[in-house]
Amino acid sequence: MDSIVNKVLDEIDLQILDILQKEGQVSNTEIASRVKLSPPATHARVKRLDNEGYISQRVSILNQEKLGFDLLSFIFISTNLHQAEQLEVLESALESMEEVLEFHLLTGEHDYLLKVMNKDRKELERFIRKLNKLGITRIQTSLSLREIKYSTVLPIWGQE
Amino acid sequence: MDSIVNKVLDEIDLQILDILQKEGQVSNTEIASRVKLSPPATHARVKRLDNEGYISQRVSILNQEKLGFDLLSFIFISTNLHQAEQLEVLESALESMEEVLEFHLLTGEHDYLLKVMNKDRKELERFIRKLNKLGITRIQTSLSLREIKYSTVLPIWGQE
DNA sequence: GCTGAAAGTATAAATTC
DNA sequence: GAATTTATACTTTCAGC
């Protein structure tokens, strides 16, 4: 046995979640046949998993290249802000920017990592200028030359 | 006007893609009413966008916390491998690991960034040991203390 | 791209195990 | 209590226009 998970989710629930996280489009009927349950029973489980918050959202992943997004950057930023309010302002400002795809507080003193998607260098430059106005003291930008893997799939069966 | 995009995709196509990337579950009927087209016309567009590869995949995003994934890390690795074959072996080894959610080649000499999801420190330690066996000379690990934002949505309307 | 009809799904209710 | 079967509403999808 593994963790808390198995106390509320059985094997079939995990199977369903794993199907959904890999193929969001698959029909309830199809899931039912794969987990060897009737469609209504399966549907009830999916609904339960949804209501209980195991499924955060269903989305379509668009093709970055075909839509002209050629410039993915990872930007480390540091700040010398210390008051909680100031940090909150900074965080909500960055969070609301659509080009910011991910935003993490990292270990260390007020070090953040941003994953930023832009169409081109000009847009990235504009973005970095916006950062400068927010009380950020240090900015270190790394460009992604090639995205080797991009997955939203959690390794729910563990790894060996 | 913006880019190459608008030569093959009109405003309605972009609207459809934007709806889909934010709400993968929404029905064709609903999309149709939002873009003010009939369901069949809308369906034909969605199918076209799918066939032409604008939609890479449809997925469900699961709740990390509820499934016990408490440890998200960003790992920078460097290698002194230079032969293309060796690098390919390294890349495909890392790509196939389920705990590796993202994998990017960055600017610089053979510097990669990994986004790695683990349940706990023990699993992360096991993962790092696996890295050591692959000819990686330098490993720098940053832990995410808090995920402030996580989005798969491309800013297709541009940013201001 | 639209309208209207046919096929296929999802979902609710009633029943059984 | 949970899954199944039966029945209904909805959606997708295929004609013809």
Structure confidence by residue, pLDDT tens digits, A60-80: 999 999 999 999 999 999 998
Neighbours of B155 (CB within 10 A): 20
Tell me the one-letter amino acid at A128. I
Nearest 5°: the CA angle A78, B132, B89 is 100
Q: What residue in A sits closest to B52 (Cα-Cα)?
A: A66
Counting Cα atoms < 13 Å in the Cβ hemisphere of A125 gives 3
CATH value at residue B93: 3.30.70.920
**Cβ atoms A70, A121 nearer than 8 A:** no
Query: For the purposes of burial, counting CB atoms within 10 Å of the CB of A129, is it exposed (0-12), middle (13-18) or buried (19 or more)?
Result: exposed
As for how many domains chain B has, the answer is 2
Per-residue pLDDT band at A58 (split at 50, 70, 90) = very high
Considering only CA atoms, which residue is closest to the C1' of nucleotide C12?
Answer: A40
Check: CB of residue B15 under 8 Å from CB of residue B32: no
Q: How far apart are CA B90 and CA B106, in angstroms?
A: 15
* B133 and B78, same domain (yes or no): yes
B31 and B84 share a domain? no
Sign of the alpha-carbon dihedral angle for A132, A88, A111, A141:
negative
Q: How far are the Cα atoms of A30, A60, A116, B5, B17 from residue B53, in angstroms, in the given order? A: 24, 12, 23, 13, 12
User: Is residue A149 domain-resident?
Assistant: no
In a shared domain, residues A34 and A86: no
Q: What angle do CA B72, B74, B76 make, to 5 degrees?
A: 155
Which residue's structure tokens are 């420190």? Answer: B121
Is A157 a domain residue?
Answer: no
Q: Which residues 6+ apart lie within 8 Å of A49 measured at CB?
A: A13, A16, A17, A55
- Residue A93 has phi, psi (to 5 degrees) of -65, -45
Q: What is the pLDDT of residue A135?
A: 81
Helix (H) or strand (E) holding B79: strand B71-79
Query: Per-residue b/e over B68-95, b at no fewer than 16 CB within 10 Å?
Result: bbebbbbbbbbbebeeeeebeebbeebe
Evaluate whether residue B89 is within a structural domain: yes
Query: Which residues span the domain enclosing B47?
Result: 4-51
Residues B43 and B97 in one domain: no
Closest residue (CA to C1') to nucleotide D5 in the complex: A38
Pick B59's closest partner by Cβ from A22, A74, A144: A22
pLDDT along chain B (160 residues), means of 10: 62 98 96 97 97 97 96 94 91 98 90 97 96 90 97 90
d(CA B78, CA B127): 16
Å separating the CA of residue B150 from the C1' of nucleotide D1: 38
Residues A102-157 have pLDDT tens digits of: 999 999 877 999 999 999 999 999 999 999 989 898 999 999 999 999 999 999 99
CA distances from residue B133 to B29, B94, B128, B130 in whole angstroms, order as listed: 52, 11, 9, 5
Q: Does A27 touch chain B (CB under 8 A)?
A: no
Whether A10 shows a pLDDT value over 60: the answer reads yes
Backbone angles phi, psi at A66, to 5 degrees: -65, -20
Q: Is B149 on the interface with A (CB under 8 A)?
A: yes
- Predicted local distance difference test score (pLDDT) of residue B2: 44
What CA–CA distance (Å, rounded) separates B160 from B149? 19
Q: How many CB atoms lie within 10 A of CB A67?
A: 20
Instruction: Give yes or no for CB of A41 within 7 Å of strand D.
Output: yes
Q: In the predicted model, is pLDDT for residue A1 greater than 70?
A: no
pLDDT of residue B3: 46
pLDDT score, position A137 = 84
Does A59 reach chain B within 8 Å, measured CB to CB?
Answer: yes
C-beta separation of B95 from A148 below 8 A: yes
> Considering only CB atoms, which chain B residues are within 8 Å of A157?
98
pLDDT at A6 over 80: no
Q: Give the model's pLDDT for residue B81.
A: 85
Give the chain B residue nearest A150 (alpha carbons): B102
Q: Is residue B154 part of a domain?
A: no
- pTM of the predicted model over 0.85: yes
Q: Domain holding B42: CATH number? A: 1.10.10.10
Q: Within this chain, do residues A78 and A131 fall inside the same structural domain, yes or no?
A: yes
Residues B80 and B38 in one domain: no
* A111-118 and B55-62 beta bridge pairing: unpaired
DSSP B113-129: EEEEEESSHHHHHHHHH
